[in-house]
C-alpha cells in the first residue's frame, strides 16, 4: 500500500525567485524508511511540511494512504502523523509526562489510559518513567529531550512519522545511539518514516531508500546501494565522493 504520494507538487514562497519545490512526484510504500537528503535550501523541510500541511502546495496533490490531504480535516491530518523536529520543541512549562501526553489529552483519553500510555512510551524510548515523568524539559540533556520528542510524536500511534533533522543538534555519540534505536523502533513498529537530513552518512545508514533533492528537484530516489553503485549525476557523485573522502581520512588512522 502506498503511504505517501506526491503528484506533480510545486511550491513557491512569496517573494522567492524560484520554486522551492518543482513538479515533485514520488511514492513511498507503507513501512518504508525513506531519508530525504540534500543541502540547505534544497526544499527538504518544505517537502516534509507539505505532508502535515504546515505548508500548502501551489499546485499538485499530496496523498496519504490514497486520500488527498487537502480534502481531509487539517487537525486530523496532523494528529495522524508524528512530527519530530531538530529544535525538539518540548513545552517548557509541562513535565515530561505531560509533554508525552499532549495529543492523548487533546483527544480527551481517560486518565488511566493516558498514564499507562505515557509509561509505555517513555520505556520505549529508553527513559524510566518513574525517574523522568515528573521532571521538566530543562532538566534533561539534549539527547534525552529528543527521546521525549520522539515519544510525544508516537503517542497516538501514527502510521506515518515525519522527522526533520531530529538528531542535528546532538553530539555524534548520542546521535549514533539514537540512530540505531530508531532503526530498531522502525523494525518493531512497521511504521512509515520520512526522515530529513543533510548528513549523507545518516541518510545512507537509516534509509531503506534515499531521496536526494537539489534545487527543489529530485535528483535520485533509490536504495543506498544503487545510489553508491551508480550515482545519477554530478551532484550525487560529489556527495558520494565527499563521503568516501571522509572514510579514507579515518582509515588512515586505523
**Using CB under 8 A as the criterion, what x/- string covers residues 14-43 for binding another protein?**
------------------------------
Q: What's the grid cell of residue 58?
A: 501551489
Q: Looking at the DSSP assignment, which residues form a beta bridge with residue 108?
A: none
Environment class of 100 (CB within 10 Å of its CB; exposed 0-12, middle 13-18, buried 19+)? buried
Q: Which stretch binds another protein (CB under 8 A): 3-11, 102-110, 195-203, 246-254?
A: 102-110
Q: What's the grid cell of residue 137?
A: 524539559
User: Which parts of 58-77 interact with another protein (CB under 8 A)?
Assistant: 74-77
Contact between 90 and 84 under an 8 Å Cβ cutoff? The reply is no
Taking CB under 8 A as the criterion, the residue among 16, 92, 130, 253 binding another protein is 92
56 DSSP assignment: -
Contact between 194 and 34 under an 8 Å Cβ cutoff? The reply is yes
* Closest separation in Å from C-beta 54 to another protein: 6
Assess 153 for contact with another protein (CB under 8 A). yes
Task: Closer to another protein by CB, 97 or 149: give it.
Answer: 149
Task: Closer to another protein by CB, 96 or 153: give it.
Answer: 153
User: Which parts of 162-181 interact with another protein (CB under 8 A)?
Assistant: 162
Q: What's the grid cell of residue 190?
A: 512497521
What's the rounded Cα separation, in Å, for the pair 128 and 123? 6
Assess 79 for contact with another protein (CB under 8 A). yes
Environment class of 93 (CB within 10 Å of its CB; exposed 0-12, middle 13-18, buried 19+)? exposed
Assess 141 for contact with another protein (CB under 8 A). no
Assess 106 for contact with another protein (CB under 8 A). yes
Q: Which of 201, 218, 197 is nearest to 27 (CA)?
A: 218
Taking CB under 8 A as the criterion, the residue among 52, 118, 145, 197 binding another protein is 52
**Binding stretches for another protein (CB under 8 A):** 52, 54, 74-79, 83, 85-93, 102-103, 106, 149, 152-153, 162
Amino acid at each position: 500500500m502506498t503511504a505517501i504520494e506526491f503528484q506533480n507538487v510545486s511550491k513557491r514562497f512569496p517573494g522567492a525567485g524560484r520554486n522551492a519545490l518543482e513538479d515533485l512526484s514520488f511514492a513511498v510504500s507503507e513501512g518504508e524508511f525513506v531519508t530525504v537528503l540534500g543541502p540547505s535550501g534544497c526544499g527538504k523541510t518544505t517537502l516534509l511540511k507539505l505532508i502535515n500541511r504546515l505548508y500548502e502546495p501551489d499546485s499538485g496533490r499530496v496523498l496519504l494512504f490514497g486520500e488527498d490531504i487537502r480534502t481531509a480535516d487539517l487537525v486530523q491530518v496532523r494528529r495522524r502523523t508524528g512530527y519530530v523536529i531538530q529544535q525538539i520543541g518540548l513545552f517548557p512549562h509541562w513535565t515530561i509526562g505531560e509533554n508525552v501526553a499532549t495529543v492523548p489529552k487533546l483527544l480527551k483519553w481517560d486518565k488511566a489510559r493516558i498514564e499507562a500510555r505515557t509509561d509505555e512510551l517513555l520505556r520505549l524510548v529508553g527513559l524510566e518513567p518513574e525517574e523522568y515523568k515528573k521532571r521538566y524539559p530543562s532538566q534533561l540533556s539534549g539527547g534525552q529531550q529528543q527521546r521525549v520528542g520522539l515519544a510525544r510524536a508516537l503517542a497516538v500511534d501514527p502510521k506515518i512519522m515525519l522527522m526533520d533533522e531530529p538528531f542535528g543538534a546532538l553530539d555524534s555519540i548520542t546521535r549514533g545511539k539514537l540512530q540505531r534505536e530508531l532503526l530498531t523502533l522502525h523494525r518493531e513498529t512497521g511504521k512509515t518514516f520520512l526522515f530529513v537530513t543533510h548528513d549523507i552518512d545518516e541518510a545512507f545508514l537509516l534509509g531503506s531508500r534515499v531521496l536526494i533533492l537539489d534545487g527543489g528537484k529530485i535528483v535520485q530516489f533509490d536504495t543506498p546501494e544503487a545510489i553508491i553503485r551508480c550515482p545519477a549525476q554530478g551532484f550525487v557523485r560529489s556527495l558520494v565522493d565527499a563521503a568516501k573522502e571522509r572514510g579514507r581520512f579515518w582509515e588512515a588512522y586505523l
